[in-house]
Amino acid sequence: MDKIQMKTPLVEMDGDEMTRVIWQEIKEILLLPFINLKTEYYDLGLAHRNDTDDQVTVDAAEATKKYGVAVKCATITPNAARMDEYRLKKMWKSPNGTIRALLDGTVFRTPIVVKGIEPYVKSWKKPISIARHAYGDVYKASEVRVPAGAKAEILVTDRDGSQTRTPIHDFQGDGVVQGMHNLDGSIASFAHACFRYALEQKKDLWFSTKDTISKTYDHRFKDIFAEIYERNYRADFEKAGITYFYTLIDDAVARVIRSEGGFIWACKNYDGDVMSDMLATGFGSLAMMTSVLVSPDGVYEYEAAHGTVQRHYYKHLAGEETSTNSIATIFAWSGALRKRGELDGLPELCAFADRLEKASIDTIESGVMTKDLYLISSLSDKKAVNTTEFLREIAKRL
Ligand code: NAP
Ligand code: MG
């Protein structure tokens, strides 16, 4: 059999722990037998990030800008325990945060829906993607405790030194105050990424905030989305037969629960944080959640939403058998390969991505799955397999 040829390399970002083990096996068992895989490899494993003073993460992000498509393995975000474990020079920042900042990207998370893993919400038939604005608001806020008798105001000093004061509250009792911000530019980037992604996925886009209460702050989000939609995207949406609509977050939550799914829900930073966990749980499993970072100028980085599955890795190191679910990481590869195929005009590469996803889903739907799914699957005839067996079962069907 002739292997599928590629034109432009994918940016490949290797990672840590159990997902690093799986990464290698996916390539060996599912990709290399079929594709003449062309990648530009960056080792984002923590040891190498430490050796390069995290330069490798920046280089990988720059390469992603250059080539347009990347696939990333889960990586450790260091904490105090990791400082000792890896003898780190510094507590390096989250690679995802670094990459997101350099690409000015928005993250879209979408569950993979399979027979046997039923959503908790009975009406959900199709996946719901969530887009979280990843800048500002309460995540970049200043907060203080305020004593009784104090008066709090917002003071804005313009470039020319002129000042405006806006009262917050006259405190009769002790209390708290918080100041937060966002930027028109960041909101606009978020809007462009959402509209673009909706067009590409041919799915409706919903956007929700609390603009009835937050008449200036949240209203600014609503207005920027509306302006950009009218100016840049309305015609294309109509042509594609999809809709954009804005609604109050309370209404959005009610509609989401009653819906069949199959749309993209754009959320402000905090709402997206909370609602993405709600959706991941609602659809059944974090191990089945895919993630793609899309920049406003159309650069894509695919990954799994879950972490490095540390607990399984320590079992693996101790020589014990593991049953780690590789589906979300496989879909990161298929997503990246399909996108590369689309950009380079390689229909056989796109077709391979489709077949890889189908073989993965068929495997689970035929009752062969990893332990995490085995525990929640409603199929009557099912068996749990180990990490490598699962990949071999997919390969058989592929
Ligand atoms: P995690 O790796 O997502 O795993 C948490 C638990 O969820 C696992 O212990 C496992 O439960 C279950 N799980 C997650 N993915 C699974 C899979 N593919 N197959 C089977 N079970 C799965 O989160 P964590 O343990 O909190 O974090 C570990 C490391 O990942 C941390 O260093 C963190 O910084 C990093 N992280 C990276 C990313 C990223 O790169 N995008 C995202 C999140 C976290 P059981 O143990 O019960 O089997
Ligand atoms: Mg969260």
pLDDT in tens, 54-93: 999 999 999 999 999 999 999 999 999 999 999 999 999 9
What pLDDT was estimated at residue 118?
86
CATH of the domain at 304: 3.40.718.10
Per-residue DSSP letter, 113: P
Specify if 23 maps to a domain: yes
Express each pLDDT in 320-348 by its tens digit: 999 999 999 999 999 999 999 999 999 99
Among protein residues, the one with the nearest Cα to ligand 1's atom 7 is 309
Helix (H) or strand (E) holding 275: helix 269-283
Residue 228 binned pLDDT confidence (cut-offs 50, 70, 90): very high
What pLDDT was estimated at residue 263?
97
Residue 139 binned pLDDT confidence (cut-offs 50, 70, 90): confident
Residues 100 and 1 in one domain: yes
User: Of 141, 143, 139, 180, whose CA–CA distance to 269 is shortest?
Assistant: 139
Residue 296 binned pLDDT confidence (cut-offs 50, 70, 90): confident
Atom of ligand 1 nearest to the CA of 371: 20
Residues 7 and 59 in one domain: yes
Residues 11 and 92 in one domain: yes
Distance CA 267, CA 124 (A): 19
Q: Is 291 in the pocket of ligand 1 (CB under 6 A)?
A: no
Using a pLDDT cut of 70, give the percent of the chain over it.
100
Residues 163 and 96 in one domain: no
Q: Is 282 in the pocket of ligand 1 (CB under 6 A)?
A: no
Compute the average pLDDT of residues 222-235: 98
Q: Which of 309, 330, 390 to mutate to test the pocket of ligand 1 (most atoms within 8 A of CB)?
A: 309
Q: Is 75 in the pocket of ligand 1 (CB under 6 A)?
A: yes
Residues 66 and 154 in one domain: no
Residues 309 and 357 in one domain: yes
Distance in Å, CA 179 to ligand 1 centroid: 33
Question: Counting beta carbons within 10 angstroms of the beta carbon of residue 145, is it exposed (0 to 12), middle (13 to 18) or buried (19 or more)?
Answer: exposed
Specify if 239 maps to a domain: no
Provide the token pair at 341. 């195929």
Task: Identify the domain containing residue 175 by its residue range.
Answer: 142-179
Q: What is the mean pLDDT of the chain?
A: 95
Token look-up 């799955």 returns 369
Among protein residues, the one with the nearest Cα to ligand 1's atom 27 is 307
The total of structural domains in the chain comes to: 2
User: Of 305, 268, 293, whose CA–CA distance to 112 is shortest?
Assistant: 305
Express each pLDDT in 249-262 by its tens digit: 999 999 999 999 99
Distance in Å, CA 291 to ligand 1 centroid: 14
What pLDDT was estimated at residue 276?
87
User: Of 108, 8, 23, whose CA–CA distance to 68 is shortest?
Assistant: 8
Specify if 227 maps to a domain: no
Q: Would you say residue 285 has pLDDT above 90?
A: no
Q: Is 309 in the pocket of ligand 1 (CB under 6 A)?
A: yes
Distance in Å, CA 195 to ligand 2 centroid: 24
Q: Would you say residue 212 has pLDDT above 80?
A: yes
Q: Which of 44, 292, 306 to mutate to test the pocket of ligand 1 (most atoms within 8 A of CB)?
A: 306
Among protein residues, the one with the nearest Cα to ligand 1's atom 30 is 307
Distance CA 95, CA 75 (A): 7
Task: Give the closest ligand to the alpha carbon of residue 306.
Answer: 1
Q: What are the counts of helices (DSSP H) followed by strands (DSSP E) for the chain?
A: 15, 16
Q: Would you say residue 298 has pLDDT above 90?
A: no
Residues 90 and 156 in one domain: no
SS3 assignment, position 69: strand
Distance in Å, CA 306 to ligand 1 centroid: 5
Express each pLDDT in 115-129 by its tens digit: 999 899 999 999 999
Q: Regarding predicted confidence, which is higher, 141 or 43?
A: 43
Among protein residues, the one with the nearest Cα to ligand 1's atom 6 is 309
Among protein residues, the one with the nearest Cα to ligand 1's atom 43 is 307
HSE value, Cβ hemisphere, 13 Å, CA-based, for 72: 29
Helix (H) or strand (E) holding 186: helix 184-201
Residues 94 and 147 in one domain: no
What is the pTM for the complete model shown?
0.90
Residues 154 and 59 in one domain: no
Q: Would you say residue 240 has pLDDT above 90?
A: yes
What pLDDT was estimated at residue 63?
98
What pLDDT was estimated at residue 251?
96
Specify if 128 maps to a domain: no
Q: Is 175 in the pocket of ligand 1 (CB under 6 A)?
A: no
Which range (97-111, 185-199, 347-361) has the least confidence?
97-111
Residues 68 and 153 in one domain: no
Q: Would you say residue 194 has pLDDT above 80?
A: yes
Q: Would you say residue 6 has pLDDT above 90?
A: yes
Q: Which of 159, 179, 199 is the last residue of a domain?
A: 179
Distance CA 182, CA 251 (A): 24
